Amino acid sequence: MSYYDSCCNPCCCNPCCNPCQSNSCCSCNCGGSAASGTQPAFICANGTMNDFARCTLARYDQLSYDLDTMPACSTICSSFIPSGCLCGCNRPTTLPSFPCLPNCLPNCSQGCTQNTNNCSSCAPSYLNSVNEAEQSVSTQSPVLFSTDRLASGNCIQHTAGTANFTLTCPGVYLIQYNANVEPDSGSNVALSLGLLSGGSVIPGSESATTVASTGELGSMSASTIVTVPCGTTGTIALSNTSGETTKVTNANILITKIM
């Protein structure tokens, strides 16, 4: 449909106008004439722009003016961006509740704008922890990780020999794990592992298998994404979510901060 037709276009600058009736607040210069076949729809037969086109241009001019007169970036940051979020010109001023970027300047080499202890969140962060030796894990209990093999950055904290991993920086994290499992006793035993966030199982992070008997191994693996909002921290653990005590060997977990 063309912008102009025999029923006068709405005067978009005045929403009270009834476009299909003669009204003093909505004067249509086209006077009911349609655009010619050689002219775009917003140009009337008499060569002038219709009201829709004029109002569109007026709004474009207003938008341009608003952009040109925006306050300096530092003013925007102090007005719109909550404490703990990035104060930089590469961040939108309309903030969602989604985790904010870390509180560092865009190039990170200039340090932090507010909280110096968050500067490390600009660097890549990952942590790979393993526990090769067999451990007996009771039902609904976490798997311990004895060795932190590789680590970078300070956003993922873990004490060797413990179960919990603390996510200290706001952002998005990819978590992957794999392990071999064996029933402590019995035959045709259903076993499962799952990731916990704040003590609750993360939906979709569980893996399960049925092992025929003691002495046989099952293999489990899964991955998931978690987010840490501004001003908070996260806690991750791998847990035996089955109803049986499980022998776990070659446990491996990799946590990577991807945003």
Q: Give the C-alpha separation, 32 to 12, whole Å.
A: 17
* Beta-carbon count within 10 A of 71 CB: 11
Residue 222: what are its φ and ψ, rounded to 5°?
Answer: -165, 170
Q: Give the C-alpha separation, 172 to 170, whole Å.
A: 7
pLDDT at 83 over 70: no
Q: What is the pLDDT of residues 194-207, one digit of tens each?
A: 999 999 999 999 99
Q: Give me the long-range contacts of 203-206 (CB less than 8 A, separation at least 24).
A: 205/175, 206/241
Q: What is the pLDDT of residues 152-172, one digit of tens each?
A: 999 999 999 999 999 999 999
Contact (CB, 8 A) for 177 and 238: yes
* Of 146, 168, 149, 147, the residue nearest 157 (C-alpha): 168
Q: What is the mean pLDDT of residues 61-65?
A: 68
Average predicted confidence (pLDDT) for the chain: 73
Radius of gyration from C-alpha coordinates of the chain: 31
Q: What is the pLDDT of residue 107?
A: 36
* Of 185, 191, 196, 177, the residue nearest 131 (C-alpha): 177
* CATH code for the domain defined by 124-257: 2.60.120.40
Q: What is the pLDDT of residue 112?
A: 35
**Percent of the chain scored above 90 by pLDDT?**
47
CB burial string 230-253: b at 16+ within 10 A, e below: beeebebbbbbbbebbbbbeebbb
Position 214 confidence tier, pLDDT thresholds 50, 70, 90: confident
* Beta-carbon count within 10 A of 1 CB: 5
Domain extent listing, the chain: 1-69, 71-122, 124-257
Q: What is the mean pLDDT of residues 58-67?
A: 67
pLDDT at 232 over 90: yes
